[in-house]
Amino acid sequence: MECKRVACLGAGFVGGPTMAVFASKCPDIHFTVLDIDSSKIDQWNSNNLPIYEPNLYEIIQPVRGQNLFFSTNIIEEIEAADMIFFSLPTPTKKQGLGAGSACDLSYFEQAVRNVATILTKYKGFKIIVEKSTVPVRTAEMVKEILTCNCKELEFSVLSNPEFLAEGSAVNDLLFPNRVLIGGDNMQAITALFMLYAKWVPSDRIITTSLWSSELAKLCSNAMLAQRVSSINSISALCEKVGADVEDVARVLTKDERIGSKFLQTSIGFGGSCFKKDILCLVYLCENVGLSEVAEYWRQVIVMNEFQTNRYCRVISKMLVNLKMKNIAIFGFAYKKNTSDTRESPSAYVCNSLLQEEAILHIFDPKVTRQQMLAEMNFHEFLDGISSEKHLISHSDPYVAVKNTCAIVVLTEWDIFKNLNYESMYAEMQKPAFIFDGRNVLNHKALKRVGFKVVAIGKSE
Ligand code: UGA
């Protein structure tokens, strides 16, 4: 079957960029990104996009209004589409059965039910694509809802998980290392395959069963997170035995079997996916009676929390007492090149310092104060704390460091590497500390300036 019109439910970090790249590569196909949140759609239609992502505007601008549209007109677009993507959030459940580990499928299911309502009387064929990261066998639920509610609808469900990483989304979409399509209907698989084949070499497009595809996405994130936790666990050991984690990582990465990616030590991984997806995997393992397997993967999260807490303890210990001390925080996003703060380890570190009554002066090149407060409030970190007095945000890093006793680097933004630390040092209280939670700065040069430098995984 030929696909002429595509609709995507969910105008978030995945739906927006993915459809933008599709539209730029498939000029003959009409793409519409749909959302019930009209303010979000207005932003996608403006020059001020709702997310910061390098080169996203450049990709969107030439195709928007041509073959890429952002709309709240869900009924009309779902009726007209040949292919419907579901790109809704699937966060961790907060209450009820599986709270704290199972996936909350309520947004996803609601969207499927809405589509079923729209298509109740529809006669014809539609391809349904799961783009969201979902628990294994979610496609079964989708099939059931559609079969029960849409008597004359012919459809096929595909799993097409997204592998883009925030901060490099456009590049990842333009040059994916693989595209995964899971399904049981060759006609539908071929239709989606043909869309990607417009720019992705066909040997990079993997087809599998639905269940392998759904599971592979969870495993992919779990394996990446496991590498970060592995190197972070080694960083703790390095500090105890006088080794340097960067030397160790350098040796490891020379072995092609190990590879070089995801071995950068840090204060812990963050973002909306790693923890959520591992928890989902853990829950799945527990449900099928594989408690040892569940425990193995749970340990990746335990290690991540240990790393963040460990670093907080190091800061508190080195500064002796934090009460009313001014501390500069560099970076609030969970990684560089994104404005996303979800599950950012920065929020956890800030919380720990606030508990000690420190006064934080935060600088992040892309995160607004409103977002910082929202993330802190989401975790209830500001309960009983005056954010006016204790959480101050700055748009200039040189202003942020004035009269502080320490700079704590929590995100690996490139801009932090090229600041004039000599002039910062002059404006700070002495002794002046730098806690480099990402090991991105030139420690030797900072020590020459006079800073006391505390890195991760290094004993001096
Ligand atoms: C991750 C995966 O990399 C994507 O393939 C996947 O599509 C995505 O989740 C998703 O499921 O949506 P993302 O969370 O955007 O992407 O970012 P990553 O680059 O994977 O980084 C995750 C966290 O790990 C960040 O906090 C980052 O700073 C940290 N990290 C990463 C390290 O601490 N060390 C490293 O060596 C690499």
Q: How is residue 139 written in tokens?
A: 């496609």
The ipTM assigned to this model is 0.98
Q: How far is the CA of 217 from the centre of ligand 1 (A)?
A: 13
Who contacts 342 (Cβ-Cβ below 8 Å, separation ≥6)?
Answer: 270, 271, 272, 334, 375
Q: For residue 435, give the H/E element and its range.
A: strand 433-436
Q: List strands edge to edge, sheet with 30-34.
A: 68-71, 30-34, 5-9, 83-86, 124-130, 153-159, 179-182, 205-208
Chain position carrying tokens 């160790």: 248
Pick from 405, 346, 406: which is nearest to 381 by CA? 346
| Atom from ligand 1 closest to the CA of residue 411 | 28
pLDDT at 459: 82
Annotation: binding site for NAD(+): 10-15, 35, 40, 132-133, 166, 273-276, 342
pLDDT at 162: 96
Strands (E), 51-164: 68-71, 83-86, 124-130, 153-159
Q: How far is the CA of 342 from the centre of ligand 1 (A)?
A: 12
Whole-angstrom Cα Rg for the chain: 24
SS3 assignment, position 327: strand
Pick from 270, 294, 296, 290: which is nearest to 280 by CA? 294
pLDDT at 426: 98
CB-defined site of ligand 1, < 6 Å: 133, 162-166, 221, 224, 228, 262-264, 266, 269-271, 273-274, 334-335
How buried is 95 (Cβ within 10 angstroms: 0-12 exposed, 13-18 middle, 19+ buried)? exposed
Who contacts 368 (Cβ-Cβ below 8 Å, separation ≥6)?
Answer: 339, 393
| Atom from ligand 1 closest to the CA of residue 228 | 34
Task: For Cα atoms 305, 307, 313, give the angle at the middle one, nearest 5 degrees.
Answer: 105
Q: Whose CA is nearest to atom 11 of ligand 1?
A: 273
Q: How far is the CA of 270 from the centre of ligand 1 (A)?
A: 7
Residue 91: asked if its preceding bond is cis (omega within 30°), the reply is: no
pLDDT at 1: 78
Q: Where are the alpha helices (DSSP H) in 165-209?
A: 169-174, 186-196
In terms of pTM, does the model score above 0.90?
A: yes
Catalytic residues: 273
Distance CA 41, CA 240 (A): 51
Cα 179 to Cα 159, 173, 182, 327, distances in angstroms: 11, 9, 10, 44
SS3 assignment, position 287: helix
Distance CA 243, CA 230 (A): 16
Mutate to test the pocket of ligand 1, among 215, 269, 278 (most ligand atoms within 8 A of CB): 269
Cα 267 to Cα 140, 158, 457, distances in angstroms: 39, 37, 10
| Atom from ligand 1 closest to the CA of residue 163 | 7
Can you say whether residue 82 is alpha, beta or left, with left for phi > 0 and alpha for psi between -120 and 50 degrees?
alpha
**With b meaning 16 or more CB within 10 Å and e meaning fewer, what string describes 269-285?**
bbbbbbbbbbbbbbbbb
Cβ(314)–Cβ(406) under 8 Å? no
Q: How is residue 106 written in tokens?
A: 């309520």
| Atom from ligand 1 closest to the CA of residue 266 | 33
**Positive/negative CA dihedral, 378, 53, 328, 371:** negative
Cβ(401)–Cβ(321) under 8 Å? no
**With b meaning 16 or more CB within 10 Å and e meaning fewer, what string describes 408-445?**
bbbbbbeebeebebeebbeebeeebbbbbbbbbbebee
For 268, how many CA atoms within 13 A lie in the half-sphere containing its CB? 24
- Which letter does DSSP use for residue 445 in this model? H
Q: Where are the alpha helices (DSSP H) in 320-431?
A: 345-355, 369-378, 387-390, 397-400, 421-427
Q: Whose CA is nearest to atom 18 of ligand 1?
A: 165
- Using 70 as the pLDDT threshold, list the residues of the chain that sit under it: 460
Distance CA 12, CA 33 (A): 9
Who contacts 113 (Cβ-Cβ below 8 Å, separation ≥6)?
Answer: 145, 149
